[in-house]
Amino acid sequence: MKIVKIDPDGFLEDDLKIPAEILRKGGIVAFPTETVYGLGANALDELAVKRIFLAKRRPPDNPLIVHVSSTDSIYRIAKPNRIAEKLIEEFFPGPLTLVMEKREVVPDVTTAGLKMVAVRMPDHRIALKLIELAGVPVSAPSANKSGKPSPTKAEHVIEDFSDEIDCVVDGGKTEIGLESTVVDTTVYPLEILRPGAVTKEMIEEFFDVREIRKAEIARSPGMKYRHYSPSADVLVLTGINVRGEMLELAERLRSSGKKPGLAAMQLGKIHDFPAYDLGKNLEEYAERLFDALRSLDRVCDVIIVEGVEEKGIGAAIMNRLSKAGRIYRV
């Protein structure tokens, strides 16, 4: 596996020539986006896409998002309706993925046999330039082994993969830290299949939209799988006086022989448990969450996490936490 280190604020086109070449020739390249690192391959090359499923150990019925660097290329792979066109105009490039009717050129492996394709244009200089240089649409799931927390640093990708992938473009930490919002534009009201940084409230400024419930998960193949899950148990506490409850729970677990760790916003040093600071607001929390889960997983067997209110990006945070572990209201 080749590692190409790149400064997102000051790189030259030449720095991305080799990774782009690897993509064009059917290889697999992990690269940063504004959400999380993606594991990229030429979306139109069936064999290359199959290699992604193998490397990730991803179930073949879970379709991939196709990444583009220009509006023109959206039309080559999908048929956006008027609603999709408006959302593209408002939110692309950005952390929003649109499910649209697909065109013939997109092979069935990429969409797991669905007639719809999910498309996204990342708001990240390295990702956009890499896709442009590769000259092909790039299918890219999050660059983690299936079931593990998504990678927000190149180190996370390297942790999960070795020779199964050809190259990692290391462009530093990802800014948002949670995967994109996935919206089905082929139904009305629109459906949020996965919440993310483009919130329900933001989309509601233009269209009616609802978030699909757990009972309807069949609509979004990815939602039925266990996710974001470290080896440690993840216990999420929400409600008032959560801090006190977290510490008490940690004490109790420790006296029963467990190794608990804490992830919370600005917890401070009022305890002696391994801890990860999730920052001072929900944006910092989102950016740090997956790194917190991965870091604490190395030293703990139970991770106690401070839950948040399900507003704005808080909805996406709680969605990921509900998949990583169990939520308790205290």
- Write out the residues near Mg ion by the rule CB under 5 A: 142
Residues numbered 4 to 33 that lie near ligand TXA (CB under 6 A) are: 33
DSSP 196-262: -SS-HHHHHTTS-EEEPPGGGGGGSGGGGS--S--SSEEEEEESTTHHHHHHHHHHHHHHTT--EEE
Which amino acid does the sequence have at 38?
Answer: G
CB 203 within 8 A of CB 105: no
CB 188 within 8 A of CB 197: no
Name which of 156 and 243 has its Cβ closer to Mg ion. 156
Q: Give the number of residues in contact with ligand TXA, rule: CB under 6 A.
A: 29
Q: Is 111 in the site for ligand TXA (CB under 6 A)?
A: yes
**Cis preceding linkage at 274, omega within 30:** no
Alpha-carbon distance values, 28 to 19, 70, 90, 174, 186 (Å): 9, 21, 31, 19, 30
Closest CA relative to residue 320, chosen from 240, 250, 222: 222
Q: Is 139 in the site for ligand TXA (CB under 6 A)?
A: no
Q: Is 142 in the site for ligand TXA (CB under 6 A)?
A: yes
**Which one of residues 18, 62, 70, 155 is an interface residue with ligand TXA (CB under 6 A)?**
62
Q: Is 138 in the site for ligand TXA (CB under 6 A)?
A: no
Q: Is 179 in the site for ligand TXA (CB under 6 A)?
A: yes
Q: Is 117 in the site for ligand TXA (CB under 6 A)?
A: yes
Structure tokens at 323: 């998949």
Q: Is 35 in the site for ligand TXA (CB under 6 A)?
A: yes
For residue 256, the minimal CB distance to ligand TXA (Å) is 36
Q: Is 182 in the site for ligand TXA (CB under 6 A)?
A: yes
For residue 109, the minimal CB distance to Mg ion (Å) is 17
Q: Is 38 in the site for ligand TXA (CB under 6 A)?
A: yes
Structure tokens at 71: 């509006």
Binding residues for ligand TXA, rule: CB under 6 A, are 33, 35-36, 38, 62-65, 97, 99, 111, 114, 116-118, 120, 122, 140-142, 179-180, 182, 193-194, 220-223
